[in-house]
């Protein structure tokens, strides 16, 4: 074996160990709730906890709402920029990167200042309003990933030709986006959706300061009072995140192979 290839495997092994050893140690610790041997009692305790079910269900609902709202904003915007205003792409990409630059805690304090009960739009005055604000905050957090996933999907199809063909057949812009563009980028859209869901499931800062009991807040509360259940929750959250990443990799196999570069 050549020395360069050997060093590549050594570096890969060190990287894999750096990532996997803490995870395996966490999993092993989560099984040691009983002194007499390994058991799944920590996982049983977590899954039977009503707060886990409520917080996880709430996170899933908010995540689905954030995905729907994000798609309604991103798909038409990315389509318009690609078709009519390609010169605006650098500006749009910069705007979509802002959630990565601005810390979540600054974002949520901005929301609290703008939408408190004494503001012209007091969303924080009701539970429904707070839920809407939390959903919009997650849309903003996932915007960099959702926009790039959709934009990558649009690069794999001939948007100009598809639009002109649909226009000749009498379709309006809404019909073109819904029945022509969207089905052709469904794999990219699903990739963005899974990334959004993974972000929502693990988010803590915004939900905590808005006093919403999401999965991340539940994990923090359990971690402050118990020993083994937090380890089980960490493993569960890893499984959820890896499941989402695995679905993205699986869907990528069905992505169109031909790409058109503008």
3-class secondary structure, 33: coil
Let me know: does 47 contact 236? Beta carbons within 8 Å.
no
Let me know: does 127 contact 135? Beta carbons within 8 Å.
no
pLDDT in tens, 196-249: 888 888 888 999 999 888 988 888 888 877 888 888 888 888 888 788 778 777
Residue 259: the pLDDT is: 47
pLDDT in tens, 11-48: 999 999 998 899 899 899 888 888 778 888 888 888 88
For residue 262, is pLDDT > 50?
no
* CA 252/CA 68 separation, integer angstroms: 21
User: What does the mean pLDDT of the chain come to?
Assistant: 86
pLDDT in tens, 120-151: 888 888 999 999 999 999 999 999 999 998 99
3-class secondary structure, 161: helix
The whole-model pTM stands at 0.82
Q: Calculate helix-pair angle for 228-252, 215-225, nearest 10 degrees.
A: 150
Q: How many CB atoms lie within 10 A of CB 223?
A: 14
Let me know: does 103 contact 233? Beta carbons within 8 Å.
no
The tokens for 129 are 């309003």
* CA 262/CA 260 separation, integer angstroms: 7
Residue 197: the pLDDT is: 87
């Amino acid at each position: 074996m050549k020395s360069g290839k050997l060093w590549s495997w050594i570096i890969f092994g060190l990287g894999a160990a750096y990532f996997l050893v803490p995870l395996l140690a966490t999993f092993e610790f989560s099984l040691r709730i009983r002194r007499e041997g390994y058991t799944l009692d920590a996982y049983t305790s977590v899954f039977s906890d009503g707060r886990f079910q409520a917080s996880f269900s709430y996170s899933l609902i908010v995540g689905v709402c954030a995905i729907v709202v994000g798609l309604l904003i991103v798909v038409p915007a990315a389509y318009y920029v690609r078709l009519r205003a390609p010169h605006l792409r650098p500006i749009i990409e910069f705007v979509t990167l802002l959630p990565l630059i601005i810390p979540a805690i600054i974002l949520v304090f901005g929301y609290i200042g703008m939408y408190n009960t004494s503001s012209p739009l007091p969303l924080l005055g009701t539970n429904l309003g707070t839920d809407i604000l939390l959903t919009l905050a997650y849309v903003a957090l996932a915007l960099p990933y959702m926009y790039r996933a959709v934009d990558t999907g649009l690069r794999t199809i001939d948007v100009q030709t598809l639009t002109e063909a649909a226009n000749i057949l009498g379709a309006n812009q809404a019909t073109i986006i819904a029945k022509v563009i969207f089905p052709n980028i469904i794999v990219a859209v699903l990739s963005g959706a899974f990334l959004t869901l993974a972000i929502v499931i693990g988010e803590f800062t915004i939900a905590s300061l808005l006093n919403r009991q999401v999965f991340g807040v539940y994990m923090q509360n359990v971690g402050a009072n118990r020993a083994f259940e937090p380890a089980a929750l960490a493993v569960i959250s890893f499984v959820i995140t890896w499941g989402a990443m695995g679905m993205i990799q699986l869907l990528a196999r069905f992505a169109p192979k031909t790409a058109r570069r503008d």
